[in-house]
Amino acid sequence: MKSLIKLYLIIIGVFALIFLLVNLTGLLSVSDIKSYLEQIQHAGKLKIFIIVAALLASDVFLSVPTILIVTYAGHILGFQIGLLAATIGMLTSGSIAYILCRFSGNKMLRLLIKDKKQIDEVNRIFHRMGFGMLIIARALPMLPEATCCLSGMMKFKLWKFLLYYLLGTLPYALVLTYLGSISSADNPYPAFIGIGIVYIILYLVWFFKLRYNKTEKSI
């Protein structure tokens, strides 16, 4: 378990560094994104849809403020279209991380963890707990990208990855786009309450899944 936590911390550290570099260099700050989203409010819906999806897809490279963009998607596009754009964008970002790490996973694992026994242990634990990890990945910043990278490294089956990641992403997108569609774009705070409720439910799902696995093993 320690090796898995170490991997998580290293990968999250990389994404945190990317976030800092992007903001410190002024390449793409939160205020820039907010200003840009405000400017395109009156553009065609198809154009806004593509921009929202593209911004969220770029999260794996630029660590963009997902909560802000998804909330704005609901506000600008409305609930249904905003939900679709947000979901596509986040799934694309996760899939890119998964594919990149799947092809380079063995090299990265050997680089980060020298001991083969520890690599095998990480593989075993992740394949057992990957369901819960992917579902609750949206609970914390940068955790989704790290979990998608680990899914690729561990050669998690693609259909399982997409299914579990969607199960975790969809409630997040539902809550934020809906609250964005009924509230002011300048006041995203109600979304935090909603997302908190969603993740209490998701944590409970994960808890009972782990408990079920332990019970099943003891029989």
**How far are the Cα atoms of 60, 69, 71, 148, 188 from residue 34, in angstroms, in the given order?**
19, 8, 11, 26, 12
- Residue 32's pLDDT is what? 83
- Residue 184's pLDDT is what? 61
Contact 145, 19 (CB under 8 A): no
- Residue 85's pLDDT is what? 97
Give the pLDDT mean for 131-135. 83
Contacts for 101 with CB less than 8 Å, ≥ 6 apart:
108, 148, 149, 150, 151, 152, 153
- HSE toward the beta carbon, residue 104, CA cutoff 13 A: 9
High-pLDDT (> 70) share of the chain, %: 85
pLDDT at residue 149 greater than cutoff 60: yes
pLDDT at residue 92 greater than cutoff 90: yes
Among residues 148, 54, 28, 19, which one has the least CA distance to residue 96? 148
What sign results for the dihedral spanned by CA atoms 126, 208, 96, 1?
negative
Q: How confident is the model at residue 195 (pLDDT cuts 50, 70, 90)?
A: low
Measured CA to CA, the distance from residue 87 to residue 82 in angstroms comes to 8
Q: Is 84 helix (H, G, I), strand (E, B) or coil?
A: helix
Measured CA to CA, the distance from residue 165 to residue 138 in angstroms comes to 9
Q: How confident is the model at residue 147 (pLDDT cuts 50, 70, 90)?
A: very high
Q: Which residue has the higher pLDDT, 32 or 93?
A: 93
Contact 5, 125 (CB under 8 A): no
Mean pLDDT of the residues in the chain = 82
Q: How confident is the model at residue 97 (pLDDT cuts 50, 70, 90)?
A: very high
What are the pLDDT digits (tens) for 32-50? 888 888 888 888 899 999 9
Give the pLDDT mean for 176-181. 87
pLDDT at residue 156 greater than cutoff 70: yes
Q: Is 115 helix (H, G, I), strand (E, B) or coil?
A: coil
